Chain A
Amino acid sequence: MDLKTKLEQLFEENHQQISQTGDLDELNQIRVNLLGKKGPITEVLRGMKDLSNEERPKVGAFANKIKADLQDAIAARKAALEQAEIQQKLAQETIDVTLPGDQVVQGTPHILAQIMDDVEEYFIGQGYQVVDGPEVEEDHYNFEMLNIPKDHPARDMQDTFYIDSQLLMRSQTSPVQARTMEIHDFSQGPLKMISPGRVYRRDTDDATHSHQFHQIEGLVIDKHITMADLKGTLLALAQHVFGADRQIRLRPSFFPFTEPSVEVDVSCFRCNGKGCAICKYSGWIEVLGAGMVHPNVLNAAGVDADVYGGFAFGLGPDRFAMLKYGIDDIRSFYQGDVRFLSQFQQEG
């Protein structure tokens, strides 16, 4: 058998073996056996010394081709086997992606805080400052500076928790406005503020009354502030809080610290004004009180009422939340039931 035939035979045998093996180790053994220094190809090549000068390069080239082909075949087979191994591993590692992910606990802001944050951020955007004040307040700021002298019948409108004859739990956040007006330097520009916070009234707690609730009161004082500005400001607020399609209407009312005084209704966001149980079939829902700051209030704070004037408004986050989300018991806000509180995750 000449060398070439031998090489062809070697190729045939091994190529078949390579293509049939399903094991990487076996393939490696084949490679070592075949191509190693003691392997048959090397042996064949060693026999080339007996060939004629004419034959030698031809057989040599042929032998190298055989060797290269076998190497390619091994490499290809190796790649295929490795690929299969990876596939198998991936298949083994496959999991049910519909099983739930790990629990990452996340707390919920209180719905009243969400509403207050939202309103505060809205007014910050309008160039207002947010001013905090004491919850234990003086009669002077809570009432007298707001045009509610002692023994005025308007004091009947709010029953107040007194601590002593001068100190009380603030019944509104407007004393913060009185305090701010008193120190504001109007020569440096207008006063635009809101005062959010907790307030207290001497009420028996039930579904619609709470001895503690929240208020956000707003105040704008400058030389040219009009009631039309009040109306526009409240319209924009109502549309921000209750939806872009809302309208408002003003009705005459009475607050000692404003005149004219109005109550403000917003068109019902549930029925869009058609009439439903929420708006008691009137199409309108009362949401806040407002008015033009009473000259007595300006004067009490040392502001010249002939030069300066402006508007004030007050809203109740508790009432806003009750209306907006259909909550029928104000006590829900203060009981801390997590089933109630954690449902308000969509806002804030």
Chain B
Amino acid sequence: MDVSYAWLKELVDVPATPEELMDKVSRTGIEVDSVRYPDDQKMKKVVVGKVVELTEHPDSDHLHIAQVDVGEETLRQIVCGAPNIAVGQTVVVALPGARIGGNEKIKKGKMRGVESLGMICALQELGFSDSVAPKAFDDGIYVFDEPLTPGSDALEALGMHDAILDFEITPNRADALGMRGVAWEVGATYNTVPHFNDQPVQETGKPVSDYLSATVTDTADAPAYQLRVVADVTVKDSPLWLQRRLWNAGIRPINNIVDVTNLIMLGYGQPLHAFDYQKLPSQQILVRRATAGEALTTLDGNDHTLDPEDIVITDGQKPIALAGVMGGLDSEITASTTTVVLEAAKFAPVSVRKTALRYNLRSQASARFEKGIDVGAINAALDEAARLIAALGEGTVATGTVSASAIDAAPTNVDISLSRINHVLGTDLSVDTVTTIFKRLGFGVTAADGLLAVSVPTRRWDISIEADLIEEVARIYGYDNLPSTLPTTTMTIGEFTPKQARLRRTRKLLEGLGLTQIISYGLTSDAKAARFTLAPAEATGVAFPMTEDHKTLRRNLVSGLLDAVAYNVARKQTDLALYEQGRVFPRSAGHTRPEEHEYIGGALTGNVIAQNWHQSAQPVDFYAAKGVVSALLADYRLEAPVRYEALTDDPDLHPGQSAKLLLGDEVIGLVGRLHPAFEHANNLPQTFVFELNLDALMAAPRSEMQAALAPKFPSVTRDIAVQVATTVTNAQIQAVIATVGGKYLQSSHLFDVYAGDKIAADQKSLAYTLTYRRDDQTLTEDEVNSAFAKVVAALERDLNAQIR
């Protein structure tokens, strides 16, 4: 809310500069985001001028030569292009040397050969936005509607030396959406009492019941509905003081009727609506819910088909306004209006909110109805509006108020004990201190035996429970004055859960293996979400995505990693080892809620080790990626080994260089090279990726840690070269060796793989070192030879191997 410092000072004593006020109020009550000066504290030499003579420029079809009285001994000649300039106008003149909006400097000069000693200004040239400057002057200069002394400060007349404080009103402090509420808050801050100088409304017209009556169908929809009538008014521009108030609050002046309703909203926080009485088809107002399909054209000219949830004001037949949101075009105040119906009401906040959202008609008025209004000020606001309209439009206020529904506005009583306040705040405040604070806020308070009975006026409808009062005490007492202590409770143990500890350990492990952590987005595109999944699952999307790129919950981590690879490669970073740890969201068919699984994924491209003076380049290949995966799996010490099986049917992975990881029958991971076609389509270099379901790994049985002494007896090794068909895998050979190796076989280590000129094209040779050891004695040569011979025989028999 834009709070005019000048207006505020009329309502309450402010012993502070705008900046001091900003700081102080921000510390005790409501955050003030900034102080803005309409004149930027830079504009100067902008004065009131009166156009005395006007001639056409001899060399221009649109320029005028004006002789302007700016309070000097002689008239000042100013060339002006505005089409609306006329003799007798009181205008804004920027003198040579003036600073206007945008810190622009005005100099004297010649326009098509004619000397011009200044500039006649439009409000926009002084920094007014188009949405605030009165529409009448859209195509020309601004003209004052009242006599002002030529040469006097025009910026002053326009209210531009004011300071505007931007109050950031949180939903609980809607009481400060009116200047009176702000004055109360500032008064509490500085321990002063606001002074409003209210004047009573003079009811000199016919009884209001002669004009109309009103009914509310459901008082839950409109707990208060009050109308007044002002007759015989003249619709015209508002006086400058009123326009000034509005535009300094960011509202465009329209005419004296609409402007008064806006002024009252700004002053009291109570939105009002004005109808043209003559345009009402009937004199029986009815507030009810709309019927489905009912139509209304609102003030902005838009047609709406109404919803049965909308609260509408009707003339008994047709809707004439959306309650609290916007009036109808048909009953709009126009220049010909003579009798005004003023409406002040309280409407059901949720209905107003929904209706405003439904038709995209949220406004300052609807926002106030949503957040609440002071039910004790509805009639005061209505009366003041009627008084002002009658005064500014030379009309008469009809006698009485139509009351279709009304609220008995009584203070809210909240009891609280002093000990409760001190218990929550950790303070040792006295009854006097607390009582004084409540009095500063304008609350009634009586204290007895440490119990305070607090009477909260209707203007602070946010306060109804103890916690509300405690907050008031805390902020006015000052948060700086609270002590700083640490909680004293019974002892609690802080410890990561096994899962949390394991996720941390896994992250550290990958970092130790050279992978840098990235964090990508959980929401991605449909296509990216669906790739590289370990199991089929349904997609889950958000209902109203911001972009196509972030609409679906990811079901893999690889896509995000590949986005990062592409981003880096485009920036010439070609050696990459990245990982991400995070959740994926697969959804089972028939469920609305997706599951959440902790995954880890990686992407490697370029070189593991870059060429340097001492090492040759070691490019990433399948086995580099698999090495990372194997090291990670080893750390989980699973009871059952994870098996690698060739993965040939993932369309985005190379069919000959990819594997799925199986734990039992469950696919718990994948590792492989991207399909060259996928790489090409996505501008990716040759890239290897992996992905593991950590939830599955964490759930799998872990082999128990059992210590064994270091072996006492030496081990014996035998090397074996196994020549087999190229289709035979290492896993098959290892399986045979493990099966027949015997109880003394400790390990079989693959140390060479050969395929080439020295053996047949469909053959390859794999060389292993087999290590044997007995734990109870030194192995004999015979024992080893016999065990080794079994391996040789089995390989020859089962895999048709040649042993060399």
Contacts and interface: CB of A to CB of B under 8 A. Distances in A.
B517 A108 contact: yes
Interface in A220-253: 220, 222, 224-229, 231-233, 235-236, 249-253
Nearest to B494: A124
Interface in B466-524: 466-468, 470-471, 474-475, 479-480, 482-497, 499-500, 504, 507-508, 510-523
Given A136-B596, A336-B563, A103 B492 contact: no
B500 A130 contact: yes
Interface in A125-182: 125-130, 132, 134-136, 151-154, 156-157, 161-164, 166-167, 169
B462 to A, nearest CB: 9
B116 interface: no
A204 interface: yes
B170 interface: yes
A118 interface: no
A231 B571 CA distance: 46
Given A124-B495, A192-B489, A250-B479, A334 B519 contact: yes
B171 A162 contact: no
B567 A309 contact: no
A164 B592 contact: yes
Nearest to B571: A337
Contacts of B29: 252
Interface in A177-230: 189-190, 192, 198, 200, 202-205, 211-212, 220, 222, 224-229
Contact of B542 (A110, A161, A233, A338): A161
Interface stretch (B420-428, B446-454, B755-763): B420-428
Contacts of A212: 521-523
B578 A153 contact: no
A259 B471 contact: yes
Contacts of A200: 522-523
A162 B544 contact: yes
Contacts of B513: 105, 107
Interface residues of B, number: 102
B593 A136 contact: yes
Given A163-B543, A212-B523, A342 B488 contact: no
B353 interface: yes
Nearest to B514: A105
A152 B564 CA distance: 40
Contacts of B497: 130
Interface in B350-385: 350, 353-354, 367, 370-371
B517 A228 contact: no
- Of A162, A222, A260, A263, most buried by chain B (CB within 10 Å of CB) is A260
B247 interface: no
A225 B487 contact: yes
A341 to B, nearest CB: 6
Nearest to B614: A102
B567 A260 contact: no
A231 B479 contact: yes
Nearest to A318: B519
Contacts of B517: 107-110, 113, 341
A261 interface: yes
B588 to A, nearest CB: 13
A334 B614 CA distance: 35
Contacts of A100: 612-614
Nearest to B562: A336
A256 to B, nearest CB: 8
Nearest to B170: A254
A257 B593 CA distance: 26
A189 B171 CA distance: 35
Interface in B123-173: 170-173
A339 interface: yes
B709 interface: no
A226 B424 contact: yes
A231 B483 contact: yes
Contact of A336 (B508, B564, B610): B564
- Of A107, A117, A294, most buried by chain B (CB within 10 Å of CB) is A107
B573 A338 contact: yes
A260 B596 contact: no
A334 B524 CA distance: 12
Contacts of B608: 105
B567 to A, nearest CB: 6
A286 to B, nearest CB: 10
A100 B612 CA distance: 9
Contacts of A110: 517-519
- Of B426, B508, B550, most buried by chain A (CB within 10 Å of CB) is B426
A260 B427 contact: no
B533 interface: no
A336 B518 contact: yes
B489 A251 contact: no
A144 to B, nearest CB: 14
B578 A338 contact: yes
B262 interface: no
A226 B423 contact: yes
Given A162-B544, A163-B542, A336-B563, A227 B494 contact: no
Nearest to A188: B490
B554 to A, nearest CB: 11
Given A110-B517, A334-B519, 12 more contacts: A99-B613, A109-B507, A136-B553, A136-B585, A163-B540, A169-B522, A169-B542, A190-B487, A211-B550, A224-B423, A232-B486, A254-B173
Q: Which 10 pairs across A and B sit closest by C-beta, in order of nearness?
A: A336-B564, A228-B426, A226-B426, A105-B514, A254-B170, A250-B479, A260-B471, A107-B511, A124-B494, A232-B484
10 contacts: A100-B612, A129-B494, A129-B495, A151-B349, A157-B171, A190-B489, A202-B544, A229-B485, A252-B475, A336-B567
